[in-house]
């Protein structure tokens, strides 16, 4: 077996077990709470005795088409697949009892409104502030505290600080292993992708040890060069770019919200007397994406990573109609002294060949 087969097979097996346990939890009356953004503090939900999962999966042409029956075609593919999968009760989307509706962009705001209205889902809306100030962080924390209080009343549960702290501690341990693996350049792109998405769904207890054992058993991925990846979220099934780069022998350093931004903390403002607020501020201060204002920190982080890791090129992968990232394309090209590939994509099967041709030209530019 190759290293990739070892890691991906094990992650797929554990992911299947986690999905089975989610169904068992639902049968036992435990609420499953879904969210889409790494800035949401999952440990708060765990502290309420519920099961949080980050739902960045179900990307397919069929799901996108199903979503287009509900909203206009010129909407973010991730939002369309979210709505399409919920409407068909497909995969993890069909197992969510409560949605945390983070408004990370206008498309997601409209998507969450549709989820609550047209599809009749239980959605708790949250405005994720784009500005990075102390007052905006406090405003975000106030919203999460309000939702926690509402869930306590509506579902007759009580927030358990010890349970939340344990979840966060175990999650931090697994995040640390993932961060080191991604920064090492010694793990294949598809292996990393599988590990990150397992992290979004799995209960964190013992997950750090599981990852460490896998990495110890798997042969080192010998890469020719490293590509820095940033941009929109990369869904579990959205692997064309990773497959092609891995086949060419390139390592990928995922500096996006489904990669290192989800596991590397920024500088939180500690609030010792309120664990819900403390956990929320920790999540809010994780590395921001291009939607943040000002977003200079995004560029500084990319520049620092380029200095430390010496990548051969930078890929900015945007979901189609994602104004936040696509609007940055010229600034990205001008700010960094290395080849930059910017492209938008959806989940339609017909886009694969176009993407591969763009990668061909990018690789020629680097080499």
Domain harbouring 324, CATH code: 3.40.50.11900
pLDDT digits (tens, 9 = 90+) for 183-200: 999 999 999 999 999 999
3 state SS of 345: strand
Compute the radius of gyration of the chain from its Cα atoms.
Answer: 20
pLDDT digits (tens, 9 = 90+) for 115-135: 999 999 999 999 999 999 999
> Where a domain ends, among 102, 125, 159?
159
Reported for 123-129, long-range contacts at CB under 8 A and 24+ positions apart, including other chains, are 123/98, 123/99, 124/98, 124/99, 124/100, 124/150, 124/151, 125/101, 126/40, 126/100, 126/101, 126/102, 127/103, 128/37, 128/39, 128/102, 128/103, 128/104
Q: Is residue 17 part of a domain?
A: no
Domain that holds residue 309: 162-366
Asked if residue 301 and residue 222 are part of one domain, the reply reads yes
Contact indicator for 129, 97 with CB cutoff of 8 Å: no
> Where a domain ends, among 126, 159, 192?
159
Which of the 8 DSSP states describes residue 329? H
Q: How far apart are CA 277 and CA 145, in angstroms?
A: 7
Contact indicator for 263, 281 with CB cutoff of 8 Å: no
Q: Is residue 180 part of a domain?
A: yes
Q: What are phi and psi of 233, to 5 degrees?
A: -60, 145
Q: Is residue 13 part of a domain?
A: no
> pLDDT > 70: what percent of the chain?
97
The contacts of residue 85 (CB under 8 Å, 6+ apart) are: 58, 63, 66, 91, 93, 94
User: 106 or 266, which is more confident?
Assistant: 106
Asked if residue 168 and residue 151 are part of one domain, the reply reads no
Asked if residue 348 and residue 326 are part of one domain, the reply reads yes
Asked if residue 82 and residue 187 are part of one domain, the reply reads no
What pLDDT does residue 1 have?
A: 39
What pLDDT does residue 355 have?
A: 87
CA 93 to chain centre: 15
Per-residue pLDDT, averaged over 256-275, amounts to 80
**Quick one: how many helices (H) and strands (E) in the chain?**
15, 8
Q: What CATH number is associated with residue 119?
A: 3.40.50.11890
What pLDDT does residue 267 have?
A: 55
Secondary element (H or E) of residue 252 = strand 250-254
The arrangement of strands across the sheet holding 340-345 comes to 250-254, 225-231, 313-319, 340-345
Q: Is residue 5 part of a domain?
A: no
Asked if residue 212 and residue 137 are part of one domain, the reply reads no
Q: Is residue 3 part of a domain?
A: no
Number of domains in the chain: 2
> pLDDT > 90: what percent of the chain?
88
Q: How far apart are CA 111 and CA 48, in angstroms?
A: 26
pLDDT digits (tens, 9 = 90+) for 149-169: 999 999 999 999 999 999 999
Asked if residue 166 and residue 154 are part of one domain, the reply reads no
Q: Is residue 9 part of a domain?
A: no
Q: How far apart are CA 39 and CA 282, in angstroms?
A: 8
Asked if residue 325 and residue 236 are part of one domain, the reply reads yes
> Where a domain ends, among 159, 191, 216?
159
Per-residue pLDDT, averaged over 59-71, amounts to 97
pLDDT band at 348; cut points 50, 70, 90: confident
What pLDDT does residue 237 have?
A: 97
């Amino acid at each position: 077996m190759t290293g990739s087969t070892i890691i991906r097979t094990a992650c797929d097996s554990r992911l299947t077990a986690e999905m089975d346990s989610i169904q068992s939890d639902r049968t036992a009356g435990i609420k499953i709470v879904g969210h889409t953004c790494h800035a949401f503090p999952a440990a708060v939900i765990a502290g309420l005795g519920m099961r949080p999962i980050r739902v960045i999966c179900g990307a397919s042409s069929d799901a996108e088409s199903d979503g287009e029956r509900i909203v206009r075609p010129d909407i973010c593919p991730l939002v369309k697949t979210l709505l399409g999968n919920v409407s068909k009760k497909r995969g993890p989307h069909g197992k969510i009892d409560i949605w945390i509706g983070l408004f990370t962009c206008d498309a997601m705001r409209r998507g969450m409104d549709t989820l609550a209205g047209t599809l009749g889902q239980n959605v708790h809306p949250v405005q994720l502030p784009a500005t990075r100030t102390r007052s905006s962080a406090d405003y975000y924390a106030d919203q999460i505290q309000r939702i926690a209080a509402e869930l306590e009343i509506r579902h007759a549960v009580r927030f358990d600080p010890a349970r939340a702290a344990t979840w966060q501690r175990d999650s931090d341990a697994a995040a640390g292993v993932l961060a080191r693996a991604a920064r090492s350049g010694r793990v294949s792109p598809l292996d990393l992708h599988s590990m990150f998405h397992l992290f979004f769904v799995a209960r964190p207890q013992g997950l750090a040890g599981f990852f460490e054992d896998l990495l110890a058993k798997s042969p080192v991925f010998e890469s020719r060069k490293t590509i820095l990846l940033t941009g929109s979220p990369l869904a579990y099934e959205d692997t064309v770019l990773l497959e092609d780069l891995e086949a060419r022998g390139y390592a990928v350093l995922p500096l996006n919200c489904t990669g290192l931004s989800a596991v590397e903390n920024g500088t939180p403002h500690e609030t010792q007397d309120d664990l819900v607020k403390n956990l929320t501020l920790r999540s809010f201060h994780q590395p921001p994406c291009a939607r943040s204002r000002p977003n200079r920190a995004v560029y500084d982080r990319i520049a620092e990573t380029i200095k430390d890791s010496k990548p051969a090129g930078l890929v900015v992968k945007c979901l189609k109609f994602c104004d936040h990232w696509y609007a940055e394309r010229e600034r990205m090209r001008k700010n960094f002294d290395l080849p930059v590939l910017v492209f938008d994509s959806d989940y339609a099967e017909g886009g694969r060949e176009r993407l591969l041709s763009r990668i061909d030209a990018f690789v020629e530019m680097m080499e």
